[in-house]
Amino acid sequence: MENISSDTPKQPPLSLPFYYGWLVVSLCFLTTLTSAGIRSSPQVLILPLQDEFGWSRAMIASAISMNLLLFGVAGPISGYLIDRFGPRKVMMGSLLLLISGVSGTIAMTEFWQFFLVWGIIVGLGAGGVGSVLTATVGNRWFVARRGLALGILGSASSTGQLIFLPFFMAMIAYSGWRIGSMTLIVVALILLPVIFLFMRDDPADIGLEPYGAGQAEAGGTASLRGMSAKSATITPRQVLGHPTFWLLCGSFFVCGGTANGLIGTHLIPHEIEIGIPQIAAASLVGIMGALNIVGTTFSGWMVDRVQPQRWLALVYALRGVSLLILPFVHNFSGLVVFAVIYGLDWFATVPPSMAITADTFGRENVGKVYGWIFMSHQIGAALMASAAGAVRDYVGDYNYAFLSGGVIAMIAAGLALQIKVPPKVTAPPAGAQTVGA
């Protein structure tokens, strides 16, 4: 009886006309979308909280800074937990943290309470389903079309902001920020049972192989480079001694500072201060999010076709240009132009960074290694969120902060060009077994 039980083939929980990994990608996309929408919502609370409680811009930015920092600190923890317990349990636990954090908003009357629920609880909950989850799922389930899968998952964060921020701003305008905050948890409550029923951690759990495993993509640059999917667990000494790790950390530090920290936190207050109506200001972020869906998905598509470090450098350079022109834009039409340029590269850094991590350190090690790289991203975000708020309070506007962001984005482009991607794995001789292809 034991032999019969052990030989019973594993089956997916649903019979689908396509590869089950695409359903897994969809579930991760929706979870990351919801998490990103909730995590980024405090930026539209800045002015309402100032008006009601008299808190300074720097005080509110400090709580958002803690949110961004813990979002990053949760990265290595999330990577360890995902490798240890699987994405499914981590996704459910993170959603429960987000629900509890946002629920505390309804009774919030003091700054320390805002700092606790939005700065700490929401930050940790969002970090559990951030880029580390995306990197792990994309590399576990896909060999062929890996870049496309990573691009789709990478666009989830901007899609969440595209959907949540204009909606949240409208809810604040019509119902107040407390009721508006409570509406954010509805999607999270719906997702919990769906993830429990249909999410799976690994293709082997349902008797499948990664998409495209064992199939060589002849003549293309999409073939996996470097370490195989079955590579042994890498040691911390090996990671810390590899220059690619530090180049990715440095460039991603700048990415976080110029994205989540600067634009993600302060763009809407800046727009309102130069005379843009609140709903229109949130809609501009929505435009950026919509274009980023295109940009990030296209970025993943390009990762399957070109050297990822060169593509990464181009993305950072485009971001630098957009930030350098922002201080000279003072009307809605000009901000639309900025939103188009910046939106196309908002999260487009994610697919090439994930691919370089997997190709350098091995797909089995993506969770733990990328977790530390992502933490550097959020440290940059936290520092820039606080620094830009302080600059605004001292100088009276955000222009110096935007110009500084443009300069460091150009530096990040230079760092990306220094990354040496491992050589592409050549096809094995006829009759030989393909490893990790």
SS3 for 13-42 is CCCCCCCHHHHHHHHHHHHHHHHHHHHCHH
Q: What per-residue confidence (pLDDT) applies to 233?
A: 67
User: Over the stretch 72-98, which tens digit does the pLDDT of each residue have?
Assistant: 788 788 878 887 888 899 999 999 998
Q: What per-residue confidence (pLDDT) applies to 235?
A: 79
C-beta of residue 26 within 8 angstroms of C-beta of residue 155: no
**424 within some domain:** no
C-beta of residue 266 within 8 angstroms of C-beta of residue 400: no
Cβ partners under 8 Å of residue 58, min gap 6 = 386, 389, 390, 393
C-beta of residue 149 within 8 angstroms of C-beta of residue 25: yes
Cα–Cα dist 156/353, whole Å: 16
Residue written as token pair 């195989």 = 228
43-52, 115-124, 393-402, 413-422: segment of lowest average pLDDT: 43-52
Cα–Cα dist 337/342, whole Å: 9
**185 within some domain:** yes
Cα–Cα dist 222/350, whole Å: 17
SS3 434: coil
Out of 12-21, 137-146, 187-196, 273-282, the most confident range is 187-196
SS3 235: coil
C-beta of residue 269 within 8 angstroms of C-beta of residue 397: no
SS3 424: strand
Six-digit token string for 118: 């939005």
**CA dist list (Å): 300 to 39, 77, 82, 186:** 24, 26, 23, 30
Residue written as token pair 């188009």 = 340
What residue type is 182 in one-letter code? M
Q: What per-residue confidence (pLDDT) applies to 428?
A: 40
User: Over the stretch 165-211, which tens digit does the pLDDT of each residue have?
Assistant: 777 777 777 777 777 777 777 778 888 999 999 998 888 888 888 88
C-beta of residue 56 within 8 angstroms of C-beta of residue 49: no
C-beta of residue 234 within 8 angstroms of C-beta of residue 362: yes
- Burial state string for 32-52 with b = 16 or more CB within 10 A and e = fewer than 16: bbbbbbbbbbbbbbbbbbeee
SS3 213: coil
Number of Cβ within 10 Å of residue 220's Cβ equals 11
What is the tally of structural domains in the chain? 1
**102 within some domain:** yes
Cα–Cα dist 153/22, whole Å: 11
Six-digit token string for 210: 């990664």
Number of Cβ within 10 Å of residue 163's Cβ equals 18
- The burial of 331, by beta-carbon neighbours within 10 Å (0-12 exposed, 13-18 middle, 19 or more buried), is given as exposed
Q: Give the residue numbers spanning the domain of 176.
A: 20-200+234-417
Q: What per-residue confidence (pLDDT) applies to 215?
A: 58
Out of 31-45, 372-386, 423-437, the most confident range is 372-386
Cα–Cα dist 87/94, whole Å: 10
Helices (H) and strands (E) counted in the chain, each on its own, are 21, 0
**390 within some domain:** yes
**431 within some domain:** no
Calculate the CA 82 to chain-centre distance.
16
**263 within some domain:** yes
**432 within some domain:** no
C-beta of residue 256 within 8 angstroms of C-beta of residue 377: yes
Per-residue confidence band for 435, with pLDDT thresholds at 50, 70 and 90: very low
**30 within some domain:** yes
Cα–Cα dist 353/3, whole Å: 44
Residue 86 falls in which region: left (phi positive, over 0), alpha (psi -120 to 50) or beta: left
Q: Report the CATH number at residue 261.
A: 1.20.1250.20
User: Over the stretch 378-399, which tens digit does the pLDDT of each residue have?
Assistant: 789 888 988 888 888 888 889 9
Six-digit token string for 228: 């195989």
Q: Global pTM?
A: 0.68
Q: What per-residue confidence (pLDDT) applies to 220?
A: 41
